[in-house]
Amino acid sequence: MADAGTGKAPRGAPPAGGGSMDGLLATKEIVVACGPGGVGKTTTAAAAAVMAAIRHGSKVLVLTVDPAKRLANALGLDGIGNTEHRVPDEAFRSAGVKPRGQLWAAMLDTKESWDALIAHHAPDDQTRDEILANPLYQNIAGRFVQSHDYIAMERLYEIHSASDYDLIVVDTPPTRNALDFLDAPQRMADFFSSRLLRWLIVPYRSRLVNVATKPFYQIADRILGTEFLADISEFFILFQSMYAGFVERSDAVGRLLSDRRTTFVVVSTLEAVPLREAEFFAEQLTNRRLHLGAIVLNKVLPDYLRGAAGASVAESMKERAEEFAAQLSPTLTLVDPVLGDIDQIARVLTEVADGYLNFQVVALREMEERSSLSVVPDVLATVPFFETDIFDLAGLIRLGEQIWD
Amino acid sequence: MTALLDLKLVFVTGKGGVGKTTVASAMALFASLRGKRVLICEVDAKGDVAGFYEAPPTGFKEREVLPDVFAMTMDTEASLREYLKLQLRIPVIGRIGPLAKAFDFVATAAPGVREILTVGKLCYEVRERNYDLVVVDAPASGHIIGQLAAPQAINNLVKVGLIRSQTDWMLDILSDPAATGLVAVCTPEEMPVTETIELAVRVREETTVRLAAVVVNRVLPELFGRQEEEVFDVLGSSEALGRLNELVGGDAGPVLDAARLAVTMRRTRSTHLDRLRLSIDGAIPMLYLPYLFTRSHGLRTTRQVAASLGEELGY
């Protein structure tokens, strides 16, 4: 059996469940956790990073986008923006483990990252300050969603280039479409090298005499108004000095994602809608020749809900609730006389049986979904439904152990 | 306060995965059953709305998917084309290739253009009174603010021009509490609740739209009352369980485990619900929809959710 992480396993149709997360994380440098919203992506990414730090003796960074407050606290990220921050060994000790490696964590601050990127590419301080102060820039960097996709990948590139970590686990931002962040570097490159951008920064007078661009300006003027158009032009004229840098950088970010040291972990639940989205995403990764390392199925209902024996027990409890209640009454009365009420016991038995049968419907639906999975990667991990929220290291370790072997 | 279904324009939002599209589809269906002519518009073009009605894929041109329920998918480029045709009387030449490209570019570069075309199309349908109610399966809570605030943002950024002159009437519709409302959908879980609380604050501070309702989806049933729970606990003791096993002629353990799981899940969730109730203005209605133990999703589920929604709305 080829190890999942060596990259030797053929892409596309590797044998199911042959590899382990352990092997995958031991051999890759970048793990990108992706998938639909609301499936526990952030928690899964954090759990994978925690496990790698505990078991592999490596220096691991988890780069998260928007963690739940309690999770952020657990990772020591509260109020810390872009700065990478070491999770103290003390935190591990209180969770009852001694890590062999180190766990670092950072949260992505979109605005701060954009500003840093501008500072990096700007030819001089004046251009930098003018761009940072430009209202259009502030809108693009702070408010508009596509910019998050790009900056997350850009930041990953920057951290990876500094070579400080053995493994970087990155959580992807919630996007309209899970694929957006994959396209982001290319879109950014296209944007800055496009002919339209050059049209926009042509001085205003020469626009009106240029036959090719005249219709464009006429329509754009009518829709947006000349003044706004002038604002846009001014902004991109400022940006002009940085095009080359931006395009080059976007290309590099794109290359890093398809590098063999990078792998993708698709997280989903077994609910129909998110699972279809996750499946589509996994297919796209394969089509783009990106490495689909694992699929993690989260919040899966426990096995005991699917037994045929359980169903027949529940059916009989429901049908003969009164009769059983009468039989059980003496046992319960011994504990406390008020608990011996036969009607009450019968109600409880019926509720319990109904609860089981209800959950069984969902559990069987989940298994059906799982068996119809069209893409099966080397590592297919299933995480059971945890009754309580995961908000500390101990919880992350509990989850991590489920996906590890 | 205007009742939810008497509004003209309802944006339904929520964190990814909470059932935003389910709720939007059910709301449109329920309104149609109450005799309204409804348009449901999907803004994130994922094609889920069609699935909830078991209808063929929808496009920019609306189509009647159920009696009095019309469905469409937002397409900002098509919206621009319609706008140019209607408002500017700019002739549309074929597939307006170069314009489409130019538009795509400007929309990427100039913040708010895409958003304004989306909101513009929706407000237009309201203004023209083509429907009694327009339900929007809006972007997830992280993105909805940008959408709703777009007319105001454009007003601030663009001083003149046609877009500017168009934003005023849109703002009138969006700011009218008797016409427009936002519905935030969440589940009783940590992140969805947190996001909803944050959303409520941002809607108030950054937009002119009012939060008309919070829908809590997938609420688990309460299995037991307090004393029943004691009965249940004792049933789990080795003595009672042994007796129960004899009676049912099998292992009742898993059945009790399932109930225990349900009880714990509900308990964890109710702490999040409490947090939500404490943080949301008491004047905003909270609607609770039950967790559905169904085999699959489709029109049947949409009908069930619509019925629950109707009950919660007091019909």
DSSP secondary structure letters along A258-292: HSTTEEEEEEE-SSHHHHHHHHHHHHHHHHTT--E
Per-residue pLDDT of chain B (315 residues; tens, 9 = 90+): 789 999 999 999 998 889 999 999 999 999 999 999 999 999 976 778 998 999 999 999 999 999 999 999 998 888 877 877 776 666 555 445 555 666 666 666 566 777 888 999 999 999 999 999 999 999 887 778 888 988 887 777 776 666 677 788 899 999 999 999 999 999 999 889 999 999 999 999 999 999 999 999 999 988 898 899 999 999 999 999 999 999 999 999 999 999 999 999 899 999 999 999 999 999 999 999 999 998 777 899 999 999 999 999 998
CA distance A266 to chain B (A): 15
Number of structural domains chain A divides into: 2
Q: Do A391 and B102 touch (CB under 8 A)?
A: no
Contacts of residue B198, Cβ cutoff 8 Å, sequence gap at least 6: B141
Sign of CA dihedral A329, A335, A337, A341: negative
When pLDDT is averaged across residues A31-59 and rounded to a whole number, the result is 92
Question: Is B162 part of the contact surface with chain A (CB cutoff 8 Å)?
Answer: yes
Is residue A236 included in any domain, yes or no? no
Where along chain B do its domains lie?
A: 4-221+282-312
Q: Is residue A381 part of a domain?
A: yes
- Domain shared by A347 and A279, yes or no: no
A350 lies in some domain: yes
pLDDT of residue A13: 39
Closest residue in chain B to residue A40, using alpha carbons only: B191
Of B99, B237, B258, the CB nearest to A359: B258
- For residue A80, with 0-12 CB atoms within 10 Å meaning exposed, 13-18 middle and 19 or more buried, which class applies? middle
Across the interface, do A352 and B255 touch by the CB < 8 Å criterion? yes
Rounded Cα distance between A293 and A282, Å, is 10
The DSSP symbol for A82 reads S
φ, ψ of residue A176 in degrees (nearest 5): -60, -40
Closest CA of chain A from B265, distance in Å: 5
Contact A389 B158 (CB under 8 A): no
Position A141 scores a pLDDT of 65
A30 and A82 housed in the same domain: yes
- Inform me whether the C-beta atom of residue B102 falls under 8 Å from chain A C-beta atoms: yes
The CATH number for A296's domain is: 3.40.50.300
Domain at B4-221+282-312: CATH code: 3.40.50.300
Question: Are residue A152 and residue A108 in the same domain, yes or no?
Answer: yes
Distance CA B88, CA B90 (A): 5
**Residue A105 Cα, gap to closest chain B Cα (Å):** 20
Please report the pLDDT score of residue B143 as a whole number.
Answer: 78
- Give, for A103, the enclosing helix (H) or strand (E): strand A102-107
Give the range of the structural domain holding residue A359, as residue numbers without chain letter: 304-369
B227 interfaces chain A, CB cutoff of 8 Å: yes
Residue A359 near residue A301, CB atoms below 8 Å: yes
CA distance to A147, A175, A222, B91, B314, per residue, from B150 (Å): 17, 19, 19, 27, 34
User: Checking phi first, is residue A57 left (phi over 0); if not, alpha (psi -120 to 50) or beta?
Assistant: left
Q: Kindly state whether residues A40 and A178 are assigned to the same domain.
A: yes
Q: Do B243 and A331 touch (CB under 8 A)?
A: yes
A289 shares a domain with A343: no
* A141-181 residue pLDDT tens: 655 445 677 788 888 999 999 999 999 999 887 665 656 77
Residue A224 belongs to a domain: no
Compare CB distances from B234 to A216, A269, A332 and report the shortest one's residue: A332
Distance from C-alpha of B297 to C-alpha of B106, rounded to nearest angstrom: 39
Same domain, A330 and A259: no
Whether residue A311 is found in the same domain as residue A397: no
Smallest Cβ–Cβ distance between B194 and the set A69, A194, A222 belongs to A69
Contact A175, A149 (CB under 8 A): yes
Contacts of A136 in chain B (CB under 8 A): 109-111, 157
State how far the Cα of B10 lies from the Cα of A126, in Å rounded to an integer: 46
Strand partners, A268: A297
Quick one: A268 and A362 in the same domain?
no
Segment A206-226 mean pLDDT? 64
Residues A174 and A268 in one domain: yes
